[in-house]
Amino acid sequence: MLARTHLAFALLLGVFIFPGLNFNSLIEYTTFYLLLAFAVFLPDIDHPNSKINTKLPFLKIASLFFSHRGFLHSIFAPILIGGIAYINAGLLFALPIFLGYFAHLLADAITINGIAPFYPIIKFKFKGPVRTGHNLEFFLFYITIGLTVFRIYFLIF
């Protein structure tokens, strides 16, 4: 998946969860969306040439320890990272990190290469028809943007 499709998926998840959140200030909303937008790229620190690793090269170290689309692309990773964020910084930080990360896994799960959601316990892979940068991905990207705009419209009016 292209970076922008990952971001669009995360925003869509965010705007659907949004009304259930009891944030009191603009700072809280901004923190939520900034963390969401950051966390959606986190799983790909397991790939040395991923977008996040070219922007933040120090994260490349993870690719030495984790195989691409291995543990960091399993459901255990966002639970662990979200849990650590919750213990250290509370729900405001933990929720967008978990959601962004989870949105990335959902999007990767519908690609040709798929992900193994319970790796390393079960190596079964979820796969889908989406090829990175091909027509179906563009279609999904625009559908996702459309649903997000639609949702925001109904939240405002």
Residue whose Cβ sits closest to Zn ion = 108
Task: From 10-18, 39-47, 120-128, 136-144, give the range in contact with Zn ion by CB under 5 A.
Answer: 39-47
* Binding residues for Zn ion restricted to 44-63, rule: CB under 5 A: 44
Closer residue to Zn ion in complex, CB, 12/77: 77
Angle between helices 3-17 and 91-109 (to 10 degrees): 130
**Does position 137 bind Zn ion by CB under 5 A?**
no
Nearer to Zn ion, 44 or 137 (CB): 44
Tokens of 157: 């009016």
**120 prior amide bond cis, ω within 30:** yes
Per CB under 5 A, the list member of 93, 108, 130, 148 interacting with Zn ion is: 108
- For 73, the token pair is 């692309």
Phi and psi, residue 62, nearest 5°: -60, -30
Tokens for 134, please give them. Answer: 């091909």
Site residues (CB under 5 A) for Zn ion?
43-44, 108
